[in-house]
Amino acid sequence: MRPTPPPARAILITGASRGLGAALARRFAAPGTALRLVARSEAGLAAIAADCEGQGAEAETAALDVRDAAALAETLLRWDAARPFDLVIANAGVTAGTPPGGGLESWADADRVLRVNLLGAVNAAAPLLPRMMERRAGRLVFIASVAAFRGLADSPAYCASKAGIWAYGESLRARLRGTGVDVTTVAPGFFRSDMSAKFSGIHPFELGLEEMAERIARAVEAGHGRAIIPRRMGYPLRLLELLPARWADAATRKFRFTISG
């Protein structure tokens, strides 16, 4: 049996001011836990930090854009020097795609999605990885999506960004084997949030926000290398890639939506 990792005591969460990041912060908040929360919204971070402190955790925040690699690295390394991280959750994300009026997603939207979702995750993990390897301890968690498994017609940049995160996490886990640093790649399906509400189409197997956070937290605490939640959403999308392209395209032809905001 795989040994259960000890509870995390110093935790970084990016995209922590709302949605899944905020729910994960509340889920991990406990006496003796130091939460380090990053997002762009200073007011949102303050509210979540207050919630976590009400549960007995210590919370410190930084209003940063994960696209700003230099500023992010400076803050993360300063935090790590004061209290070394044993859990890093790269969660920050945005979405874009086919607008309500139709047409293609804009170049600006595609650029923003790829920089926040993919490069933002790399920017959060890369500065801390050498220190974690030196300590031979810690876990990196990359929040991808079931959209990583199949390019969907109405969100090409989002799917590409999440596929990149999935591949990056999978690569790191293989590379870090035996170093004492572990990696969990997570592929959530739909869950109720402001981001999910922007999708006008069907939301199959949608979970509640707190339930999704709980399932992810349990997978991380159990030391799982992968978590696809729910599997009945993610696994069929993975299997589609084994089919000829025309069949896979036909299987998702009715899964269309527009994305607002």
In this prediction, residue 142 carries a pLDDT of 98
In this prediction, residue 230 carries a pLDDT of 84
Angle between helix axes 19-28 and 209-221 (nearest 10 degrees) is 50
Q: If the chain, 261 residues long, is cut into consecutive pieces of 10 residues, what is the mean pLDDT of each piece?
A: 64 96 97 96 96 96 97 98 97 84 86 96 98 97 92 84 97 96 94 67 78 96 94 74 79 69 60
In this prediction, residue 153 carries a pLDDT of 74
In angstroms, rounded to a whole number, what is the distance separating the alpha carbons of residues 246 and 206?
A: 27
Q: Buried b / exposed e across 230-259, counting CB within 10 Å, b at 16+?
A: beebbeebeebeeeeeeebeeeeeeeebbb
Strand partners, 166: none
Strand partners, 215: none
Amino acid letter for position 119: L
In angstroms, rounded to a whole number, what is the distance separating the alpha carbons of residues 4 and 52?
A: 24
C-alpha distances in Å from residue 126, one per residue of 133, 172, 259: 11, 11, 31
In this prediction, residue 245 carries a pLDDT of 82
In this prediction, residue 5 carries a pLDDT of 57
In angstroms, rounded to a whole number, what is the distance separating the alpha carbons of residues 141 and 61?
A: 19
Question: Which pair of structure tokens corresponds to residue 245?
Answer: 């392209």
Q: For this structure, is 168 an active site residue?
A: no
In this prediction, residue 158 carries a pLDDT of 92
| Candidate list 28, 142, 158, 257, residue with the active-site label | 158
> What superfamily does domain 10-251 belong to in CATH?
NAD(P)-binding Rossmann-like Domain (3.40.50.720)
Domain residue ranges in the chain: 10-251
